[in-house]
A = this chain, B = another copy of it.
Amino acid sequence: MVQRITPRSVDDSAWYTDVVQAAELADYSPVRGCMVIRPYGYALWEYMQQYLDVRFKATKHQPAYFPLFIPQSFIQKEAEHIEGFAPQLAVVTQGGGEKLEEPLIVRPTSETIINAMYAKWIRSYRDLPVLYYQWCNIVRWEMRTRLFLRTMEFLWHEGHTAHATAEGAMQEVLLILEIYRKLCEEELAMPVIPGRKSDSEKFAGADATWTIEAMMGNKWALQAGTSHFLGQHFAKVFNIQFLDENNQLQMVWQTSWAVTTRLVGALVMVHGDDQGLRLPPRVAPIQVVVVPIWKNNAERSQVMGVVERIRGELGKHIRLHVDDRPDLSPGFKFNDWELRGVPLRLEVGPKDVSKAQVVLARRDMAAKHNKSVVPLDRLLPEVQKLLDDIQHNLYEQALRFREENTYYPETYEQFAEAVNKGFAIGYWCGSAECESKMKEETKATIRCIPMEQDGKPGHCIICGGEAKEKAVFARAF
């Protein structure tokens, strides 16, 4: 029943697919390009949803819901937007048995349909800011499926806001980026680099895109969340105007932002190992799994007595699961829960009962160094301490991994080598020519121009010309 997983060192891509399926996070569906998110994977997404929902509401954002279908003519209104999305559209041409006069697009993002409504609702400065978001499904045509990371349909939230001033919109962009950064670093234990996208990498229809970029286990980058400053692109196209305090007509300034179910895939790739998942305790659907150990009925009733006590005491504070499946061996169960990435395993056998103790085994450390014996009367504080420690340790491991695989090349030759081994950090003059030359020659892209810069000018790693800022270059999913 526990499935074989291709070792990570042999084939990272096969390893990833094996883990996602064997741990029952997701599965392929009969519809090419679409996946099924299974309950264990959905629980990870649900945790992120709830985390974000609380923070969005605390910052006065409101959930709403806009239609799945967008008239073809709407999506064509903003020139860059349609250029970016045209190759990815799914089109409904028949409905209720008849051919449609105007085809409907299944939303690839909702700027056009939402801004058509904003034009109707927004009248006065009193209506601003409008801070709406929705949780929904999105379709972008895509046949090279990679579970969670690249699928035709995925889940996300998308925020769409309208502000009276450019400054108000820009504050929003950064407020959201910081919420995303915290989600990734503090909850998913995944270090990210916040920064700005180059023009060629920004969202189709935005003035500027802000991003957080993470390093995956194969040393490629993954864009983990984006927050777009839309300027007045859509406001102009959809004519979203308001009367300001001086009774003058003004156009709104806008943002949009999203994170998607690909974050579940990121969790797998950042923390997983040859045994399977390793989940950070904060996001883990099961934080502690209890495996009772016995050989006969007398032992069983002894052990289960203690297990029930543990369930009662710990279950109120942490997400606990007791694996009392009768016909499986403890060894099988250990492997099974390691595969599923449960941070802490709690073993109780007859000997432990007689000594009023249990054994705790950490998922984040190598076997033989990962066990401790804990007296029952110290269990809760010890478990809480270990969970905190695992959370911290997974973050530190991921950060160290990124640092060890980040290069600061001094020549273009070194650079071209570096981007195939990890992240390369170097000056970029800002020209699209350098960017596309580099992309063509190395297959890397500019992941972002980090917000953190040392302020000193330098020389472009590609052309040698003057450069003000450093960029992060890498291969990316």
User: A interface vs B, CB < 8 Å?
Assistant: 27, 29-31, 34-39, 42-43, 45-46, 62-71, 74, 86-97, 103-104, 106, 113, 116-117, 120-121, 132, 136-137, 139, 141-143, 152-153, 155
Contact = CB atoms under 8 A, between A and B. Distances in A.
A63 B34 contact: no
Copies of this protein chain in the complex: 2
A117 B34 contact: no
Contacts of A106: 68, 92, 106
Contacts of A121: 27
Contacts of A89: 94-97
B97 A30 contact: no
A44 B286 CA distance: 31
B136 A137 contact: yes
A117 B36 contact: yes
A87 B93 contact: no
9 tightest A-B CB contacts, nearest first = A96-B141, A34-B67, A39-B62, A91-B94, A37-B65, A95-B141, A93-B93, A90-B95, A29-B67
A29 B113 contact: yes
Contacts of A65: 36-37, 42, 45, 155
A137 B64 CA distance: 13
Most-contacted residue by chain B among A67, A89, A93 (CB, 10 A): A67
A31 B113 contact: yes
B35 A67 contact: yes
Contacts of A153: 67-69
A59 to B, nearest CB: 14
Secondary structure of the A contact surface, majority rule = mixed
A150 to B, nearest CB: 13
Given A90-B92, A94-B91, A96-B141, A39 B64 contact: yes
Nearest to A135: B135
A36 B30 CA distance: 31
A86 B97 contact: yes
Nearest to A96: B141
B92 A64 contact: no
A143 B97 CA distance: 13
Contacts of A91: 92-95
Contacts of A141: 95-97
A245 to B, nearest CB: 11
B67 A31 contact: yes
A189 to B, nearest CB: 24
A137 B137 CA distance: 8
Contacts of A137: 68, 136-137
B97 A139 contact: no
A346 to B, nearest CB: 22
A91 B103 CA distance: 10
Nearest to A131: B39
19 contacts: A31-B69, A31-B113, A36-B65, A37-B65, A38-B64, A42-B63, A43-B62, A46-B63, A68-B106, A69-B139, A69-B152, A88-B96, A89-B95, A90-B95, A91-B92, A91-B95, A92-B92, A97-B141, A137-B137
A30 B93 contact: no
Contacts of A117: 27, 29, 36
Nearest to A153: B68
Given A136-B137, A137-B68, A141-B96, A63 B90 contact: no
A393 to B, nearest CB: 29
Contacts of A87: 96-97
